[in-house]
Amino acid sequence: MDDCEYVHTRTKKDIGRLCEFENVSGLANASVDANAELLSTFGHIHEINASLDTMPTYSVHSINTDRVEVHSRGQVHIEGGWPREIDSSEPQDTAKWRKRLDKDPQFAPTVAKLCNKMKKVLEDNKTIDLFGGIGSASVDPLGVQTFKSDSAALFKDPHGHRTVSRVSWHPDSLGRFAASYLNVSGTESKKESCFSYLWECDLPNQPMLTLTPSSSLLSIQMYTRNGDLIIGGCSDGSVNFFDIRTSTNPVACTLYEHSHTDSVSDVSWILSKTHSEIVSTSTDGRVMWWDVRQLASGPVETCDLTPYAGTAIEWQQEAGPTKFLIGTEEGVVLSLNKRPKKPIETGGWFGVEDKGGSLKHSGPVLSVKRNMFHPKYFLSVGGDNCIKVWLEDLKSPIFETPHCGSQYLSGTWSPSRPSLFVGSRHDGVIDFFDYSLGMGPSSYSHKVSESPVSTLAMEPKGRLLAAGDAAGTISLLQLSDELSLPIPNEKNIMGTILEREQRREKNLDTLRKQQTASVLTAATSTSNPRVSKRIDQQQYLAREYEWQQIVGIKIEPQDMSIRTS
């Protein structure tokens, strides 16, 4: 094809002016004839589909790693290197040979040469720092506490998704704990549905031992002096005693005619000279004391709680060997005093309005735990969204945690820190309250499960926390130093806080009694039988403001509000 050129000319005066467009007839500047040879090399395409996108393309893959099987193996060290004429199993022969080597003049130079070689190896390791961390640890110059808890392991129920009802740690801190499971569906047709397990922290894949009770266990506890002795409260009302040194089946069991008529809510060991005394409670309204050597003979002593039904037990040697705290289904806590050769007395009704108490729980008391450093004080967890702390001398709680959006199901004090206690919630969150920092919301929270966390148990050293949920999974948390190691003078600090709240609550109780007496006098004079127990708000605020000035709290009277029972 010849070159085609078209030249457009324009006068200089028209340059820079706006273009004016108008309709003109077509003008052919070039024409190319058709070529049949080129046409045969082309093909017709009827449809062309194209997809354009400016977003980058990603490839997503999902993999599931193989389960790691961990086993423990023992290693036997046998002493060797003896001459043929020396029998290493005979202590006298080996002792004579050692004395002979000590007298040998070449013994000392040989040991010196070996020490020089070992010293060189040790110095090399020290220079390289094989066992140290990479980089220097940063120290917070302000000393700000950073709470942290890491999930160390998960222990899943090998037989379904039963609710973890209770966890009990080995008293010698060997990294073992016993767990009881409850089949909430109510069907126990299979024998496996009643199994409870003894777990080891280093082996989360399979239980160390399987306990076979007569029925599902609602509660379980290891003996504080011997972890091989275990007791459990069953859903059929019986109490089982296990000695894992002999068998995984119950060594002794209570007979049906002597057992509870309802599920055993809680059991506890009692330290005694015979190391065989236990106590149990049930929702049938009875508390029974047993001797594990004679479980078939019936209870040693029985206490009737009518009209209350027992749900939790707390006994601690430091608080008094005769004192027992019983949580009830009605939301109150009872204090029992069991003295030798005397009838059992109910010494305290905590939260019972008819006995001068107030602010009981709105549901069943699920946990009652004493402070190990201040045994007079104890916490309780009920069917509401707060944890209450009580004093034995008062019938009302001295303080309670701020209300949250979920119900608390379990709680316990830290065995290593006097001012720290823990609570588990229905939404799977565990709250840590450190009252050495302040009496407010939780200092730290950790979500461990999507299911409700039904029980908590802390290791005797305070480093590990076991949390069992309603899906049959036990989460093992490793707590940081800020949550496990006590701060300087922490016991005295917590004692001061508790005594301060005790004086405050006693002042409120005095005001309440004075107000009740004045109203009673006015009602008697006017022959009006109705008596109000409410406190005069102005008098209460004045007394509260005076107390806050004494302890050094700066707050204006108009910013305070009254708490009514």
- pLDDT grade, residue 143 (50/70/90)? very low
pLDDT tens for each residue of 312-333: 999 999 998 999 999 999 999 9
Residue in the structure block whose two tokens are 């007839």: 25
Half-sphere exposure (CA, 13 Å, Cβ side) for 81?
A: 4
CA dihedral 12, 14, 16, 22 (to 10 degrees): -150
- pLDDT grade, residue 128 (50/70/90)? low
What does pTM read for this prediction? Answer: 0.69
Lowest mean pLDDT among 34-48, 126-140, 376-390: 126-140
Rg (CA), the chain: 39
Question: Which has the closest alpha carbon to 310: 341, 340, 339, 289?
Answer: 289
Tokens describing residue 102:
């000590």
Mean pLDDT in residue range 388-411: 91
* Residues 231 and 251 sit within 8 Å (Cβ to Cβ): no
Q: In the prediction, which pLDDT does 137 show?
A: 46
Residue in the structure block whose two tokens are 């009673």: 520
Binning the chain into helix, strand and coil, the percentages to the nearest 5 are 20, 25, 50
> Cα dist. 395→307, 398, 532, 534, 537 in Å?
18, 9, 19, 16, 21
Residue 546: is its pLDDT beyond 80?
A: no
Q: In the prediction, which pLDDT does 405 show?
A: 86
- Helix axis angle, 107-128 to 91-103, nearest 10°: 90
Residue 136: is its pLDDT beyond 60?
A: no
Q: In the prediction, which pLDDT does 552 show?
A: 64
Q: How far is residue 233's CA from residue 210's CA, in Å, rounded to a whole number?
A: 16
Residue 168: is its pLDDT beyond 60?
A: yes
Question: Which has the closest alpha carbon to 313: 272, 343, 283?
Answer: 283
Extents of the domains making up the chain: 149-485, 500-559
Q: In the prediction, which pLDDT does 107 show?
A: 83
Domain 149-485 matching CATH 3.10.450.40: the answer reads no
DSSP lists the bridge partners of residue 2 as none
Residue in the structure block whose two tokens are 């945690």: 401
- pLDDT grade, residue 140 (50/70/90)? very low
pLDDT tens for each residue of 183-223: 877 655 567 788 999 999 988 989 999 999 989 999 999 99
Share of the chain above pLDDT 90, in %: 46
Lowest mean pLDDT among 161-175, 250-264, 545-559: 545-559
pLDDT tens for each residue of 173-184: 788 999 999 987
